[in-house]
Structure 1
Amino acid sequence: MEAELAKGLAAHGWEDQRWTLARIKTVIGRCFHMACTIQGVRKLLARNGWSWQVPARRAMERDDEAVAGWGKEVWPCAEGWRRPVEPGSSSRTKPDSP
């Protein structure tokens, strides 16, 4: 399976560089003629040391200037929409309880 995944997405018919559990499930079905669930694929990958975490390299399409601009212009606007912290109840059904 690792050899098939190492070939990359283009070798399996996808144009972008984003592996998903559904795509891995499709590759397993095509190459090994096995049917499995999405959760089964996730568990199989976890057992073999694969992670859904951040990739080791940055994408070639990444635009660092656009990322920096988003952080300066868009994020402060999104950050301002937070609800102010106020004391509240720990119970939704009994609002007066502490």
Structure 2
Amino acid sequence: MPARLFLLCRGLSWRRHGVFGRSSCSRRAPRMRRSRGRWVCAESVRRWRRVWEQGGVSALRRRAATGRPPKLDDAQVETLRAALARGAQAHGFEADLWTLERVGAVVEQITGVSLSRASVWRLLTGRLGWSLQRPEWRAVERDDAEIARWIAHILTACPAPPEAASTTKPADLNRP
């Protein structure tokens, strides 16, 4: 029973999945079987059996995801992490803020690899664990001492607003 082995290899119970046993196909397509709240195609079970017959239980285990290898290896990512930790001003930028373009320029300067904005975003959020943070903007003319003086002297000298009902709005007659 290769499908049983397939499910057991993944830590799943074949009884609970219902791959073998009573067929509940009558309500769905005839080649589908109910499996853990989902429908499994009979062709999948046949494919699992072929794989099991050719490679045994180890062939049924999950494999690492395939796809294009990353442009930066782990050593380059760690070098980049240290470079970004020094700040943007250390790399010749005017403000100490990182943008995707700035990070891309530093990546190209350090590793020689050119990354798109989307790739830089995936690098920052995925491999480096950074998140989007927007700086709190303040006026250049802001004077914190003047603000504190205004709050202490002028604002406290103002009378408190009356707590009576507003005379500009009519009363709501529908409220209880």
1:40 alignment counterpart? 119
Q: Distance in 2 between matches of 1:20 and 1:11?
A: 14
How high is the TM-score relative to the length of structure 2? 0.31
> Shift in Å at residue 30 of structure 1?
0.2
Query: Given the alignment, which residue of 132, 135, 141 partners 1:52?
Result: 132
Query: Given the alignment, which residue of 26, 39, 49 partners 2:105?
Result: 26
The amino acid that maps onto 2:104 is: K
Higher fraction of strand = 2
> Shift in Å at residue 53 of structure 1?
2.7
The structure whose Rg is larger is: 2
How high is the TM-score relative to the length of structure 1? 0.54
For the aligned residues, what is the CA RMSD? 3.0
Gaps of 5+ in 1: 67-98
> Shift in Å at residue 21 of structure 1?
0.4
Q: Tell me the percent identity.
A: 35
Runs of 4+ residues deviating >3 angstroms: 61-66
The number of equivalent residue pairs is: 64
Gaps of 5+ in 2: 1-79, 147-176
